[in-house]
Amino acid sequence: MNDLRGVVRQKSEADEASTSPGVRRVRITVAHAGQRVDNFLIRELKGVPKTHVYRILRSGEVRINGGRVRAETKLNEGDEIRIPPVRVAETPVHLQLTSAFPHEIIFEDTHLIVVNKPSGVAVHGGSGVSFGVIEQLRMSRPDAPLLELVHRLDRETSGVLFIAKTRAALVGMHDTLREKTGDKRYLAAVKGEWVNDRQHVKAPLAKFTQPDGERRVRVDKDEGQFAHTVFNLLERRPTISLVEAELKTGRTHQIRVHCAHLGFPIAGDPKYGDLAWNKVLKADGLTRMFLHAKSFEFEHPISGETLKVEAPLSPELARFWNGSAIE
């Protein structure tokens, strides 16, 4: 009886290729080698909800070289991936994004794209956000073989955002970020009169979850990971200061938490800022957090050339700082 069931299973799988035209078998090229299978599928199955992509992975409907895979499985050049038939929503949320990319591109070559990300825009979909910068870019360039985020920016933060167009550039930029060989700088307006012209802050950071489920970060000397920020004073006023932050490590919410820890919360910060002060600032014209990824100097991962990309300060932040009644 067991042998008969095995024969039936083999027959149904063999027949599937001819009876299920919706099944696709894709051969992985060098452009996608090293990519996680879930990320590959999310890009390949445009318009399909991420929850459904992970469902077909868990169910075993997606196979690589005939075998079941996990979401984190890395693809190799030459792999054959079986993609089951899936139903795309009749009106995908991405439909509105099939035209031109809506954000400013400040640098592009054959390997990298650098975007000046606006505040209020997520870098990727998830956590209640249908789409972000990377989905918008992919929809505007459907024939691009590879478009992957090199790093993240908080939704409220504007400025320099790197996207890789080749696997070699992605790996190379990850090496740059991991080895801290690049020079990444931010602009922030903070509450109070900043004291030192140049100040090193080394305060370990740990993630935690609040009772309402919101994820936060705090300074934690016992369980936190090493975090290092260098602050340079640019302009000091009686109740507000403008500083430049050099990131020596890249922890989640690092600048925001370090500023709050020092007693100089970032203007407009909804998580770690002074909420009463934020209301005063809003009346004075600041409707977002004053944190901007200003520049990044780095060695190009392919050419080896030293480059510096800079994102101009957004008009709303420039107007606030130059015309603010806050002194």
**Residues labelled as active-site residues:** 154
Strands 158-164 and 291-299 come out as parallel
Instruction: Evaluate whether 141 touches 88 at the Cβ level (below 8 Å).
Output: no
Instruction: Please tell me the number of Cα atoms within 13 Å of 197 on its side-chain side.
Output: 0
Q: Quote the tokens at residue 211.
A: 């009772």
> What's the rounded Cα separation, in Å, for the pair 66 and 109?
38
Residues 224, 228, 232, 238, Cα dihedral to 10° = 10
Following DSSP, what letter does each residue of 66-134 receive, concatenated?
A: TEE--TTPBP-TT-EEEE---PPPSS-GGGGGSSS--SEEEEE-SSEEEEEEPTT--SSSBTTBS--HH
> What's the rounded Cα separation, in Å, for the pair 25 and 9?
20
Q: State how far the alpha carbon of 304 is from the alpha carbons of 38, 40, 65, 173, 182, in Å.
A: 31, 28, 37, 11, 12
